[in-house]
A and B are shown apart, each in its own frame.
Chain A
Amino acid sequence: MSSFKNTGHLFRFAGLFVLAFLIFLGVRGFVVPKSFGQYGHYRGNAIVDDAARPMFYAGHQACETCHADIAATKASGAHAHVNCEACHGPQAIHALADDPTAHIPVKPDSATLCIRCHAKTLAKPKNFPQVDGDHSQGMACITCHTNPHSPAMDTAAKGGAK
């Protein structure tokens, strides 16, 4: 076959291609993570990694196992649906600790905490309780609303605020 006599160099070039492809396949089998393709075109273990991230908010269920008394107070008041950490901040460090007393949460300051939700603005739904700057006349909210877990007006302290 004389027509093939002069094709040697072409086969060498093609051989380079095949060689590169084989190396590629070899490396690929070695490099691609084992769980890739387990559920789809991604690393299946990525889901495990994501689920294993640490928690910072323990969730109100955790709080309520110990603080059942406060949960009961809350349940009957206006803040029944406000979860603990919404005001107290992330407490997984306290709630999930072997010794919770080692990480005592800091008590929130009502002077800055309450207005985060209750500051008056036209932009809030009208039926949501809101107060403007004059309302407290500089006093901390808990002066009158003594129990933030069930923030009805404490009648004994009724005085300054309208």
Chain B
Amino acid sequence: MKMNRRQILMLMPAAAIAWESILAGTPEEAPNYKMSEHWWSMLIDISKCIGCGNCVRACAAENKVPAGHFRTWVERYHVDDENMTEPQVISPNGGFDGFPAATEDTGKYFYVPKLCNQCADSPCTQVCPVGATFISPDGVVMVDRKYCLGCAYCVQACPYGCRYIHPELEVADKCDLCYHRITKGLTTACCENCPTGARQLADLKDPKDPIHEFLRTHNVQVLKPQMATGAKVFYNDLDGSVR
């Protein structure tokens, strides 16, 4: 069988997984993506984020995100000890061009990368009138571009502001955890391009995923837990002022 370079490379990530399985003595678990074997999530380590905006740019390039809209973005918080509940937040162009230098040497600063929380009880899929947005069997909240009406009800229902109406396609759009990548054994564009490892794609159904150890040993939080959306993007070291 003769394969060209492209085919070999396309197969390569799958082969890497296969190799891991072979090493682990379980070659039958190899390739061929099965949805029932995954439950995707993401881990974000606030203490590692430097606000470079690489994730925002990578996401925009990988997913052709229209200018002014964001599947992922980064916010910079400035919290003063005198007013813990009223943080000053900026996110110029979603952090796409990075952030201006912080000058006020009071309180604390930190960056909060945001993306769709891939909620297990997602309010956005609940309100979709036609079933154009849904939770896939492997736990990714997706939009069916061929079926969406563009009514924007889901945009209203998302407590995190993760959705937008695509100005050209006129359908709802949002982060789908780079589904075209993760089903081929790659990580998301944002995780691939995060220079500090502040973002890690995680598979909650994979017992070998380091996320399990991390969740057991760290103070991890989700955004707006009072919304009870079953959010699956976990934040390490999240400050209480973040909303």
Contact = CB atoms under 8 A, between A and B. Distances in A.
**Touching chains A and B, CB distance < 8 Å:** yes
A39 B104 CA distance: 52
Interface in B21-58: 35, 47-54, 58
B139 to A, nearest CB: 12
A141 B134 CA distance: 47
Contacts of A100: 5
A85 B193 contact: yes
B6 A97 contact: yes
B132 A116 contact: no
Contacts, number: 146
A123 B134 contact: no
Interface string A110-133: 000000110111111100100000
Interface stretch (B154-162, B174-182, B212-220, B228-236): B174-182
Given A41-B131, A121-B102, A50 B6 contact: no
Contacts of A125: 47-50
Contacts of B184: 55
B187 to A, nearest CB: 7
A42 B192 contact: no
Contact of A96 (B9, B61, B195): B9
A72 to B, nearest CB: 18
A86 interface: yes
A83 B193 contact: yes
Contacts of B12: 61-62, 65
Nearest to A57: B189
A55 B132 contact: no
Given A49-B144, A121-B99, A86 B193 contact: yes
Given A40-B134, A86-B194, A95 B144 contact: no
Interface residues of B, number: 60
A18 interface: no
B85 interface: no
Contacts of A52: 180
A10 interface: no
Contacts of B166: none
B166 to A, nearest CB: 14
A47 B192 CA distance: 22
A89 B189 CA distance: 11
A135 B140 CA distance: 45
B4 A98 contact: yes
Nearest to A83: B192
Contact of A117 (B109, B131, B134, B195): B195
Contact of A46 (B63, B110, B147): B147
B146 A46 contact: yes
Q: What 5 pairs across the A-B complex have the smallest Cβ distances?
A: A123-B109, A46-B144, A42-B134, A123-B102, A53-B180
Interface of A: 33, 36, 39-43, 46-47, 49-62, 65, 79, 81-83, 85-86, 89-90, 95-98, 100, 116-117, 119-125, 128
